[in-house]
Structure 1
Amino acid sequence: MRHIYRCPLRWADMDAYGHINNVVFLRYLEEARIDFLFRPDKDFQQGSVVARHEIDYKQQLVHRHTPVDIELWVTQIRAASFTIAYEVKDPDQVYVRAQTVIVPFDFEAQRPRRITAEEREFLKEYADDADGAGDESGSAGAVAA
């Protein structure tokens, strides 16, 4: 399953050429990630931090008044990290493909923590096996973080 976030484009998001500034895409990914992880029914209330972002810019996104879709899914679940993949797109074109490695974090103890059983079950609902999504228990090549 994939999560869809309808991201509004703001006037301040564009550069001098009328395109959405490349740096702004990081904020768009953050908004989609928050919409995915922090919901009333399922969430990561114990906290998490971003360990890594990787972004491939495919095409310019011109500022407009309609939202752009951000589709996200889980591509890897490890003992103490997981990876989310994204596409920022319209039905007929992809503007950005990206990945984020996220580490669950205990802010009180100021250290990374393992993914809980409940969090793992939630993440598995959004795992996309076509992209090699896996869990360290089912993937021989995965190493616990």
Structure 2
Amino acid sequence: MTTVGNTQQNQQSELKLVYTCCMPVRWGDMDAFGHVNNTVYFRYMEQARIEWMASFLDVASASNTGPVLINAQCNFLRSLKYPDQIEVQMFIAAPGRSSFNTHYQIYRLGAEKTRCAEGQAKVVWVDTVQEKSAPLPEAVLAQFR
């Protein structure tokens, strides 16, 4: 277990690093001000989360249960711009019956690795037919061990 960022450390002191991925900043990620638009940081976190889940779940198959975000937040520390290469680290906190918190660190890679953003999102497992929370599947729970 590890701690992450000052803001996130206040909310969760023990986090488990479960996934790291690298990706390029695309030209289209930037806005008129010449830096990555704030909404795109959420896409970077989403990409890491989906890749992580795809490593142990069949995320493409139709199912009556699945993950839903109920909140997400991001602290922007440094701007990103094309053609930066980034690394997204994803951490998880102890699960509840039907939910868990995810935490993210986004770094610009280069001569120095610079932390540019930190964020978090709460994932709730939902029965889509009943529109109610459902217990986390065993495959998800196994990631916390």
| Cross-structure match for 2:31 | 15
Say which SS state the counterpart of residue 71 (structure 2) adopts.
strand
| Cross-structure match for 1:87 | 105
Q: Is the 8 A contact 2:57 2:139 kept in 1?
A: no
| Rounded Cα–Cα distance in structure 2 between residues aligned with 1:47 and 1:98 | 22
Identity %: 22
The 5 A counterparts of 1:51-90 are: 51-64=70-83, 66-90=84-108
Q: Is the 8 A contact 2:86 2:106 kept in 1?
A: yes
Unaligned runs of 5+ residues in structure 1 are 126-145
| Rounded Cα–Cα distance in structure 1 between residues aligned with 2:82 and 2:34 | 6
Runs of 4+ in 1 over 6 A off after TM superposition: none
- 1:29 partnered with 2:45: yes
Deviates more, 1:50-59 or 1:6-15: 6-15
| Cross-structure match for 1:97 | 118
- 1:2 partnered with 2:23: no
User: What's the Cα RMSD here?
Assistant: 1.8
Unaligned runs of 5+ residues in structure 2 are 1-16, 60-64
TM-score normalised according to structure 1 size: 0.75
The structure with the greater share of residues assigned to strand is 2
TM-score normalised according to structure 2 size: 0.75
| Cross-structure match for 2:134 | 113
Measured against aligned partners, the alpha-carbon deviations of 1:7-41 in whole angstroms (never above 9, x if no partner) come to: 232111101232111111111111111111123xx
| Cross-structure match for 1:43 | 57
| Cross-structure match for 1:131 | none
Q: CA deviation at 1:63?
A: 1.6
- Seen in structure 2, the aligned counterparts of structure 1 residues 53 and 44 have a Cα distance that, compared at 3 Å, is farther
